Amino acid sequence: MRRKAGLAVAAALTAAALPAVGPIPVQAQSYWVYVAAESEDEVSLLRYDAGGDLVVEKTIVTGWLAAEIEAPHGLAMDPAGEYWYLTLGHGFPNGRLVKYETVSDTIVGVADLGLFPATIAIPPHGALALAVNANFHGDHVPSTVTIVDLETMFPIADVVTCTMPHGSRFNADGSKHYSACMMDNQLVEIDGATLDVTRRLDLVANEPAHAPMDGHMAMAPPGEDCSPTWTTPHPDGNRIFVPCNKGDVILEIDLDTWRITRRIEAPGAPYNLDLTPDGSRLLATLKGSAKLGIWDVDSGELLHLIDSEMRVTHGVVATPDGRYAIVSVEGIGGDPGTVEVIDIASGTRMASARIGKQAGGITLWRMEG
Amino acid sequence: MKTRSNIRPAILILALAALATTQAAAQEVARVEVSPATLSLEVGETATVSATAYDAAGNVVDIPFLYFSRDGRGSLAVNRTTGEFEAHKGGEYTILARALGPGRISGTMTVTVAFPPLDRIEISQDGGRYYVGVTLRHKATVIDQADDERDVPVTWSTSDESVATVDRFGVFSGHAPGEVTLSAAAEGVAGQITYQVTDNPVTAMAVEASQARGRTGDVIHFAATASDAGGGTVDDIPVTYGLIADPDVIATADFPPAEVDGMGRFVAYKPGIYTVTASVPGQTAHATVEILPRHVAEEVQLVGHAPVRNVSTSDLWVWEGVDGRDYAITDTHSGHGSTYWWDVTDPASPVLTDSLIVDARTTNDVKVSEDGELCVISREGASNRRNGIVIVDCTDPRNIEIISTYDDELTGGVHNLFIYDDHVYAVNNGIRFDVINIEDPANPHRVGRFELDTPGHAIHDIWIVDGIAYTSNWNDGVAVIDVGGGDRGGSPENPVEIARFRDIGGATHAAFPYRSPTGKFYIFMGDEIGAPAFDGQEADRTPQFMAGYIHVVDFTDPENPEEVARYEIPEAGSHNMWIDDDRLYAAFYQGGLRVLDISGELKGNLYHQGREIAVYKSYDPDGVVANAPFTWGPQIHKGNLFFSEYFSGMWAVKLQPRRTLIP
């Protein structure tokens, strides 16, 4: 069963890495996602059967201290589908990367990270993870991206990037890694082989940037703050999308010229992004307005704006067949976390399920059918 | 809709997979070889290793590698992309080259870094002069030319075995008067110490107990006096203390009924007759004491319950309000950001007076200003990630009002806080505490902060008494910090560290200072440790458990603190505590509420000394989890003992003298 699941996801990911981008009209029947509930210390495994209900199949309690919230935040899937990875935000004081085996959902490895690690990226070869240490504690000091060897779970290095890095993502062939600097208004590129920072882009000035100084944030002109929260490379390998959480815009950046080439209006504080594997549809959670936006990538036209059942939309993943967007919604205070399945073509919510509080990190495990 | 296109897409998936597999197979890495396979070099030298990947057919695969060494961390500086490395410390290490391709294939090589020659061996010993017959153990510290301590076996010897001998553990015995040199040697280097062994002048020995009769848990000091033939005192001869126990109840496989340390400090766990011996070569004296049961147990009477059954309860604070009535606040954990105010003037009937919901999931801690007018609540899990603190006017606990919030650089969450002299000391969820001036509570502003200087430091809690802050810092233990009441010139704007102590285990979660009527100044340091039996992946079947205990540290001399005692409940872990009038009130999670007699000097494991005054476990069939004591924090107030229970709200009990007759 696991072999079959791994094959399906691997196929979809490999397809996404092919040079010629085209529609992948494969439709599956069942989809499994893991979603982290940050204020519940839980990760839920949910299954969606196309046209049916979204069902919580299992809830995995995370962390080591029953009486402390350890804040499960980011999730990532091993390309072969055999493991899933979770960042725990709170530690002593550093957070951790935890490696779980799928199916049994048992811990098989742990690596130390930095202060409040958030998003994880794994390149297609699956040998490494790059976890951004977001350090949400509020200190205006440059933080790091931790590189972890996933076989040994050894943290090889901490690469200094910027203040409050977030949105860790590799491009389709794993040759480049991107992350955003929420407090420095930068996009940072790391080479996938050397794992050194290769380029920085000031997302306000739209020009290459230097590394931020300790305690000195990039000062955006009034009304031009960006606060980028995510990075999503396009599968064509030529561009990347970055949401400005404070600018109500999604930036398209040309990777050759290393300049912003398009601004897509996205009112409502865009937060996390994803693209359908064929690169035709851009998905964005709009954290402030509790919606999911779906755009046509070529035209930049907003196709659908879908209200969520709860407030504070957080994560989004497109299913590898490009059919659905699966969205995590945090809620506020005592609200339960929510996971919603949206039909991308019609913009219709197909199903939803309640999980633990502050649903955030989300990763697709497998699809079958 | 469900199945129409199932078959063809499935085939397409497989076809794509097959294509990808075919393309990849030609370049799929089957093995990695690292060259050279072994390498030997000296500290300070550099070398480069290189890896080559091969497919199953033996063809070279062009692929990048990452080089690193797990066991060489701190000893080898490896360039992750070039394979160049520099040796910093001696030892044998493995360098791993990971092929950045599917399959996570890697190769390894072994580096042997020669240890630098040894530089010196330092010998240490316990105090005392060497008279004939005296035996003391020595320890050798081996240091190499890189100034690193080395684990190298040493060979012990003496220069004249008729004067003194030494065994392989460094235990040295003087046999006859004379000069003798003790040596510890390894790899051509030796450390030496020369003694003059002299005749043993002791002709008489006496030992005296500080009291002839005591109770279990009492620390009795035995003072030995060695005298020479002229009646003079020989005070530099090492004295060995021993114990002959005759407990009232003898059980097999039990802990020792009493103990005496090298300084003659004795404590008994069981009643009985105990004889302490004090020995020097050729002379022994003894003194006997009678130990009686401690008889401190009291009855616990349930007074009242303020139930909170829809959400878990965290901390509490009880105070006398400005109107003279008594009030309590209880916070909540992993819930909806609520806080509850109670009138507990009649603790038998707590009355909910008001409540507040803030944007948070956890309001972990709450404190009230000394004048009873301000309540400050910590926040975690705010929807906008701007947590910080909430300052509330609680002059009238029936109509509380938010005055202000403060979250600057406290966005990751405030877990604990303390109010002292118009300042809030807020512990963020990371590495420091911030000092926030609330003289004008509508305009709070940061005036100072404090952070330890150790690598990977973390802070969890803070408590302030008389202008001295006691912070709990997990692996770094407790830090004592002058914030205005010490002699180091500290202030809220400029906290100055006075002392620091890491207890055994290093899991310090809470600390409570106590100046005992004995003149001793103790700091009680509580662990927070996940219980080994707790399986976080079995939420529905495994109850919540915690482990850890309370360490008692004698801080009377802050320059030389000493961990002297512990309070360890075998089946439960410690959490928050309160101390008043020689009584420790301790929350022990699943072990309930414990009240401990901490009168007198403290030594050993207090749990086994008959010092427990009371144990109370609250069972609420309608709790968040039914009938599951999980005690969070206690506070004594006007004779009533209030405590918060994670699954059931706030309770109040009262202690009363035990009604059973004591023979």
The residues spanned by each domain of chain B are 2-113, 118-197, 202-292, 313-487
Q: What is the pTM of this model?
A: 0.90
pLDDT computed for residue B11 by the predictor? 32
Nearest CA in chain B to A64: B530
Distance CA A173, CA A171 (A): 6
**Residue B250 CA neighbour count, 13 Å, CB half:** 3
Does B123 score more than 50 pLDDT? yes
| Model confidence pLDDT, tens digit, residues B256-288 | 899 999 999 999 999 999 999 999 999 999 999
Does A7 score more than 50 pLDDT? no
Tell me the pLDDT of chain B averaged across its residues: 92
Using the Cβ of A248 and the Cβ atoms of chain B, whether some distance falls under 8 Å is answered with no
Interface A:B, Cβ pairs < 8 A: 207
Using the Cβ of A115 and the Cβ atoms of chain B, whether some distance falls under 8 Å is answered with yes
Work out the percent of chain B whose per-residue pLDDT is above 70: 92
Using the Cβ of A30 and the Cβ atoms of chain B, whether some distance falls under 8 Å is answered with no
Facing A332 at nearest CB: one of B1, B311, B359: B359
pLDDT computed for residue B41 by the predictor? 95
Residue B458 to residue A93, Cβ atoms within 8 A: yes
pLDDT computed for residue B532 by the predictor? 56
Mean pLDDT of B587-606: 97
Contact present, A65 and B528 (Cβ < 8 Å): yes
Residue A66 to residue B68, Cβ atoms within 8 A: no
Using the Cβ of A345 and the Cβ atoms of chain B, whether some distance falls under 8 Å is answered with no
pLDDT computed for residue B8 by the predictor? 35
Nearest CA in chain A to B574: A67
Q: At what angle are helices A2-17 and B7-25 packed, to 10 degrees? A: 70
pLDDT band at residue B126 under the 50/70/90 scheme:
confident
Facing B412 at nearest CB: one of A14, A39, A116: A116
Q: Which residue has the higher pLDDT, B588 or A14?
A: B588
Mean pLDDT of B493-513: 96
Distance CA A230, CA B586 (A): 46
Residue A93 to residue B334, Cβ atoms within 8 A: no
Distance CA B133, CA B280 (A): 8
Facing A330 at nearest CB: one of B2, B383, B428: B383
Nearest CA in chain A to B475: A92
Does B23 score more than 80 pLDDT? no
Q: Hey, what CATH class is B2-113 in?
A: mainly beta
Residue B361 to residue A333, Cβ atoms within 8 A: yes
Looking at beta carbons, which residues of chain B come within 8 Å of A26?
Answer: 9-10, 12-13
Q: Hey, what CATH class is B313-487 in?
A: mainly beta
Looking at beta carbons, which residues of chain A come within 8 Å of B624?
Answer: none
Nearest CA in chain A to B536: A61
pLDDT computed for residue A18 by the predictor? 36
pLDDT computed for residue B533 by the predictor? 47
Mean pLDDT of B465-469: 98
Using the Cβ of A19 and the Cβ atoms of chain B, whether some distance falls under 8 Å is answered with no
Sign, Cα dihedral of A95, A100, A104, A105: positive
Interface of B with A in 546-585 (CB under 8 A): 546, 575
Please enumerate in sequence order all residues whose Cβ is within 8 A of that of A82, keeping only pairs 6 or more positions apart, or say none: A2, A6, A101, A102
Per CATH, B2-113 and B202-292 having the same topology is answered: yes
Facing B334 at nearest CB: one of A59, A69, A136: A69
Does A24 score more than 70 pLDDT? no
Sign, Cα dihedral of B8, B11, B17, B18: negative
Q: What is the DSSP letter of A86?
A: E
CA–centroid distance for B207 within its chain? 37
pLDDT computed for residue B659 by the predictor? 66
Does A5 score more than 60 pLDDT? no
pLDDT computed for residue A86 by the predictor? 98
- DSSP H or E segment with residue B25: helix B7-25
Looking at beta carbons, which residues of chain B come within 8 Å of A15?
Answer: 16, 20
Looking at beta carbons, which residues of chain B come within 8 Å of A194?
Answer: 64, 80-81
Min Cα separation A241/chain B (Å): 23
Looking at beta carbons, which residues of chain B come within 8 Å of A193?
Answer: 64, 81, 100
Q: How much is the CA Rg of chain A, to the nearest whole Å? A: 18
Structure tokens at A106: 């048992």
Distance CA B442, CA B426 (A): 17
Among the residue ranges A17-31, B144-158, B414-428, the one predicted with the least confidence is A17-31
Three-state DSSP at B168 gives coil
Min Cα separation B471/chain A (Å): 14
pLDDT computed for residue A211 by the predictor? 84
pLDDT computed for residue B2 by the predictor? 33
Sign, Cα dihedral of A262, A267, A273, A275: negative
Contact present, B434 and B418 (Cβ < 8 Å): no
Burial class (CB in 10 A: 0-12, 13-18, 19+), B539: middle
Mean pLDDT of B39-59: 96
pLDDT computed for residue A1 by the predictor? 32
Interface of B with A in 90-119 (CB under 8 A): 96, 98-102, 104, 106
Does A15 score more than 80 pLDDT? no
Contact present, A162 and A188 (Cβ < 8 Å): yes
Among the residue ranges A61-75, A216-230, B364-378, the one predicted with the least confidence is A216-230
Looking at beta carbons, which residues of chain A come within 8 Å of B474?
Answer: 92
Three-state DSSP at B526 gives strand
β pairing state of B240-247 and A239-244: unpaired
Facing A50 at nearest CB: one of B2, B408, B428: B2
pLDDT band at residue A92 under the 50/70/90 scheme:
confident
Say if residue A208 is preceded by a cis peptide, omega within 30 of 0.
no
Sign, Cα dihedral of B603, B607, B609, B613: positive
Interface of A with B in 262-291 (CB under 8 A): none
Residue A152 to residue B70, Cβ atoms within 8 A: yes
Work out the percent of chain B whose per-residue pLDDT is above 90: 85
What ipTM was predicted for this assembly? Answer: 0.88
pLDDT computed for residue B234 by the predictor? 96
Say if residue B517 is preceded by a cis peptide, omega within 30 of 0.
no
CATH topology of domain B118-197: Immunoglobulin-like (2.60.40)
Residue A137 to residue B81, Cβ atoms within 8 A: no
| B296 Rama class: left (phi>0) / alpha (psi -120 to 50) / beta | alpha
Using the Cβ of A108 and the Cβ atoms of chain B, whether some distance falls under 8 Å is answered with no
Min Cα separation A107/chain B (Å): 9
Residue A63 to residue B81, Cβ atoms within 8 A: no
| Model confidence pLDDT, tens digit, residues B433-456 | 999 999 999 999 999 999 999 988
| Model confidence pLDDT, tens digit, residues A182-220 | 999 999 999 999 999 999 999 999 999 988 765 555 555
Tell me the pLDDT of chain A averaged across its residues: 90
Phi, psi of A43 (to 5 degrees): -125, 135
Using the Cβ of A338 and the Cβ atoms of chain B, whether some distance falls under 8 Å is answered with no
Nearest CA in chain A to B363: A333
pLDDT computed for residue B517 by the predictor? 97
pLDDT computed for residue A65 by the predictor? 83
Does A235 score more than 80 pLDDT? yes
Structure tokens at B528: 């927070």
pLDDT computed for residue A12 by the predictor? 43
Using the Cβ of B359 and the Cβ atoms of chain A, whether some distance falls under 8 Å is answered with yes
Say if residue A93 is preceded by a cis peptide, omega within 30 of 0.
yes
Contact present, B397 and B411 (Cβ < 8 Å): no
Best residue of A59, A62, A69 to probe chain B, by most B CBs closer than 10 Å: A69
Architecture in CATH of B202-292: Sandwich (2.60)
Using the Cβ of B410 and the Cβ atoms of chain A, whether some distance falls under 8 Å is answered with yes
pLDDT computed for residue B661 by the predictor? 62
Interface of B with A in 425-464 (CB under 8 A): 428-431, 456-459
Structure tokens at A328: 């995590």
pLDDT computed for residue A208 by the predictor? 95
